[in-house]
Structures are given as C-alpha cells and as structure tokens.
Amino acid sequence: MSSGAKRSTAFIREVTPGITPPGNWNVLTRVSFGLGPTYNSEENNEIGADRMSQGTAMTTVDVGGDIETKFRFGALDEFLASCFGKDWVGNVLTMGNDRISFSIGAYDADVGIAAIARGAQVATLNIEVPNDNEISVTTTFAAIDWDDKADNTSFIVSPQPEANQRRYGFKDVTGLKINGIQLGEDNACVDSFNLQFDNAVQTQRCIGNGNPFPGNIIPTTFTPSGSITLSWSKAAYQYWKAQQNGDALSFEFTLNNADGGYTFLLPEMEVTGDWPDGGATDIVQVELSYTGRRVPPTITRLAAPIAIAAVTVTPATLSLAVGESADLEAVVTPVGASQLVNWTSSDQAIASISATGLVTAMADGIATITATSAVDGTKTDTCAVTVTV
C-alpha cells in the first residue's frame, strides 16, 4: 500500500513547452497534489443484436489540477512568473504575454509509481490570508501531456530543496492599504482576505498531432480578484460606497519575514458588497469582493533584511537635573542595516524616553534607558541616566 509521506513532488522549468529539459529539478513542498489526467469518453450509441449497451469510447485527455502549498520566500517565484506571463525584471513582476511552462513530476517511492505532467502552465493562483494561521497558495495548472510508469523509474532528477523554510503567516502581513491609507484597528480592521490571479485559460485541440492531449493551452483575459472582510466602520462604509458609481480603489499589502518579502499592488479595482448585518453578540463586518481592472498589478520582491550585528547607544552614561532633557543616539551596525530601534526606560517616573530617543529627567534617582533593534530583539544597548534635584 502507498503512503502520502512517500510521495515526492518536484518541477523543472521547460525551454520548449511540453519537453522536459535535462538538469536538476526543484523540490515542490506541498499540502496537496491534485495534478493529473482526466480521461474523457463518449457513449457508443450504436445498437447491436440485442438491447445491451455498447459501452464508451475514449475521446480526449485533459491534464490539470490544483497544487496547494504554503507560501515561502522564493519558492513560488517561477509559478508567479508563469501566471503573469512574464519573467521577473530585477525584483519586479508585472503582466506579459510569454508562455512559461514546467514539467511537474510525482514519485511514490514505496510502490515505485512515477508520473509527469508536461507543458504545465499556471491557470490560476490563489493566495489565502487568514486571521490566525499560515498563508496558503493554491496553484491550478493546465498541461498538454501526461506520462506515468509503474516500473520503479522516477522522472525526478536530483531535486534541489527550497532555499528558505520560513512560512509566511498572518503576522507577516504589513502595509495593508486601500487607496494608500493604512488599514487597522482605528479605521477598518481587516479580518481576512484573499487574492487570485486568473488567466481564463482555454484548451486548444489540434487534429493530426496523433494524441488525445491538448495541442495548446491559451491564456485569455488576465483578472486579479478576491475578497476582503472588514469590520464595519466609517472607513469601510466609504469603500463599500465606491460601488455606487463604479469608483476605482487601489489595494496593496506586503508579506515579509527574515528571508525576504513581496509587496502586492493592484493600482485599480472595483468593489461589490452587501450591506452588513449582525446579531447582538456579533462584530458587524462587511465582505467586499474586488476585481482588478485596466491597470496591470505588480509584485515587488524585497530582499532579506541585513542581519543586525550590534546596537550602540551614545552617550553610555548621562547626568541630568530634574526637568532637563537630552537626546540619545542609537547606531545599528553593519552599514545598511535597519536603524529602527525601540526605546524603553526601566523607570519612567525617574527618566522618561520618547520614541525618537529624547530622555527627560522626571525625579531624583537612577534609570536605565534601553534601545532595542526593531528587526532583531536580541540586539540592545543601554544608557545609565542619573537624575538629581
């Protein structure tokens, strides 16, 4: 019997669609693997010597299906490029018309069955952002060929694992904005949202190619869409109201962790939604469905932040009289690292500290002021402040 834990999946980018190139494959870590063939058939309506059914005849074969993964930095860049129809230019991805395809294989090591889909293009890619868990991505592929074997032969050659293992979660979402305004608990708290890119692919049949598989997979219109659930507020009402006149809104957000990140931007979208309701113990929320229009979306890839070596606070000691103030400076090394720090005081009643490093003497005594890197909470430095009357 076969175990799902013994199934390995991998992919390799093709140079010519439908032809698996030589070289090493890339490991495809997945939650589920639904890519496979669908054998279509037609009932034989002939009448024989008696009333017995004449069975069916196989007609065409469609190859496609969903693969669900967790979102990691760098793991899905090639699939995003296939979905958008264009390679990354530097660290920016936008819509194009190129055909980017893959050979995607699966191998059941315990029973020796291997299979491969060739000429696989991304039909849709859906990013699901919950309010309490990891971010999942469901990629739907459409392919032009399928091959399988049960002779203990694997198609997958020396698969290379993903470079990064940190998975994005709901806590890694920042910069969530509509019309450039940051969303949050003060204006329109976001409960959850999703974003889907859809190529509306069509299967092209070609008579004379000697097989039942599609001749081509043709992308048609490219449509970004999704839904976002907001707590009902005056800001949420203004977004809901935009549907009355077909007003355009923009939508953007960033996923970022220690490995790197992505900023997604839909410059123009239209929304629809129903007037919300809620029971006595419910939080009233509005779900807005949105669809991108006219202006292509962009994804900007963000490099991983530079590792913090140290934080140095100057001066290291400070003497103030009650009522006096002084500026402390925090320098984060190495050069190029984020200079953002969080300031705290061991005793605000003796020496208070502002978010910018301004210390104010409040009462007689000694307090320790600490600067902590906003990127790496293990990197800190202090200033000892003595306050006299």
Residues 298 and 318 reside in one and the same domain: no
Query: Cβ distance 157 to 198 under 8 Å?
Result: no
User: Sign of the CA dihedral 235, 233, 137, 144?
Assistant: negative
Residue 387: which pLDDT band, with cuts at 50, 70 and 90? very high
Position 179 scores a pLDDT of 93
Which residues are registered as beta bridge partners of 68?
32, 138
Last residue of some domain: 245, 269, 302?
A: 302
Q: What tokens were used for 266? A: 């839909």
Helix (H) / strand (E) containing 49: none
Residues 107 and 218 reside in one and the same domain: yes
Backbone φ, ψ for residue 350 (5° rounding)? -95, -50
Residues 262 and 127 reside in one and the same domain: yes
For strands 298-302 and 92-94, give the pairing. antiparallel
Q: Which tens digits make up the pLDDT trace of 13-23?
A: 999 999 999 99
**C-alpha span between 170 and 344 (Å, rounded):** 27
pTM score over 0.85: no
Asked whether the predicted pLDDT for residue 185 surpasses 80, the reply is no
Nearest residue to 377 (alpha-carbon basis) of 347, 345, 353, 341: 341
CA distances, 47 to each of 42, 43, 52, 115, 332 (Å) = 15, 12, 8, 38, 85
Residues 272 and 181 reside in one and the same domain: yes
Backbone φ, ψ for residue 235 (5° rounding)? -65, -45
Residues 223 and 336 reside in one and the same domain: no
Residues 294 and 323 reside in one and the same domain: no
Residues 154 and 93 reside in one and the same domain: yes
**C-alpha span between 95 and 115 (Å, rounded):** 31
Residues 223 and 326 reside in one and the same domain: no
Domain of 190, in residue numbers? 4-302
| Domains held by the chain: number | 2
Residues 142 and 290 reside in one and the same domain: yes
Residues 384 and 264 reside in one and the same domain: no
Asked whether the predicted pLDDT for residue 209 surpasses 80, the reply is no
Read off the amino acid at residue 17. P
Asked whether the predicted pLDDT for residue 210 surpasses 90, the reply is no
Backbone φ, ψ for residue 86 (5° rounding)? -165, 145
**C-alpha span between 26 and 18 (Å, rounded):** 17
DSSP three-state, residue 235: helix
Q: Which tens digits make up the pLDDT trace of 254-294?
A: 999 989 999 999 999 999 999 999 899 999 999 999 999 99
Is the bond into 214 cis (omega within 30 degrees of 0)?
Answer: no
**C-alpha span between 198 and 250 (Å, rounded):** 18
Residue 211: which pLDDT band, with cuts at 50, 70 and 90? confident
Last residue of some domain: 302, 321, 341?
A: 302
Query: Cβ distance 126 to 195 under 8 Å?
Result: yes
How many CB atoms lie under 10 A from the CB of residue 50?
5
What CATH code is carried by the domain that includes residue 315? Answer: 2.60.40.1080
Nearest residue to 127 (alpha-carbon basis) of 177, 182, 75, 59: 75
Position 366 scores a pLDDT of 96
Q: What is the mean pLDDT of residues 69-93?
A: 97
What is the rounded average pLDDT for all residues in the chain? 93
